[in-house]
Structure 1
Amino acid sequence: MREKILDILCQVCGSEEIRENPDVELYETGLLDSFGTVQLLVAIEEELHMAIPISEIDREMWATPHKIIKFIEERR
């Protein structure tokens, strides 16, 4: 699951830095923005068959790849 989420993040963010540094601050570094968050949610729904309402997401919860992975794994 972890690798699949990292693949999705790398694709949405357009950077392998996510895989190299899973503690990178996605929003602070500009790797992810609000539009990217929507793209990420759509990709997660399509590839993992898991719907996550945008209302359940905030920047602190999804600040790093590690936090996103943890959030998704806890929901499975």
Structure 2
Amino acid sequence: MDFKEKVLQVIAEVCEDDVVKEEHDLDIFEAGLLDSFATVELLVQFEEQLGINVPITEFDRDTWNTPNAITDRLNELK
């Protein structure tokens, strides 16, 4: 499993919806798949499953809103 597939798997687990594995430009906030509580869980899972620490202060809904955007940002942080 490559890095992007791992990221998509984590997002799908937290959102409880596999649609994010297929629609990489889906705005997960507008689609109602992620809220404030789930955002914190997503960041925790990135650290636990991928070893990437994302400070909550680095997380901006406007730049972390799609699976593609999340993967790109995590690539920069790893």
Please tell me the TM-score bracket, short chain as reference: over 0.9
SS in 2 for 1:38: helix
Q: String of CA shifts for 1:15-49, please: whole Å, max 9, x gaps.
A: 01101101111101101111111000000000111
Match of 1:31 in 2: 33
- Give the corresponding residue for 1:42: 44
Identity %: 42
Q: Distance in 2 between matches of 1:2 and 1:74?
A: 13
Superposed structure 1 runs of 4+ greater than 2 Å apart: none
Cα root mean square deviation, aligned: 0.6
The SS at the match of 1:2 is: helix
TM-score, normalization: structure 1? 0.96
Number of equivalences: 76
CA distance in 2, matches of 1:52, 1:67: 14
Matched, 1:70 2:77: no
* Pairwise CA distance, 1:66: 0.3
Gaps in structure 1 of 5+ consecutive residues: none
After TM superposition, the score normalised by the length of structure 2 is 0.94
Q: What CA distance in whole angstroms lies between the structure 2 residues aligned with 1:23 and 1:40?
A: 18
| Runs (5+) with no aligned partner, structure 2 | none
Number of the residue aligned with 2:59: 57
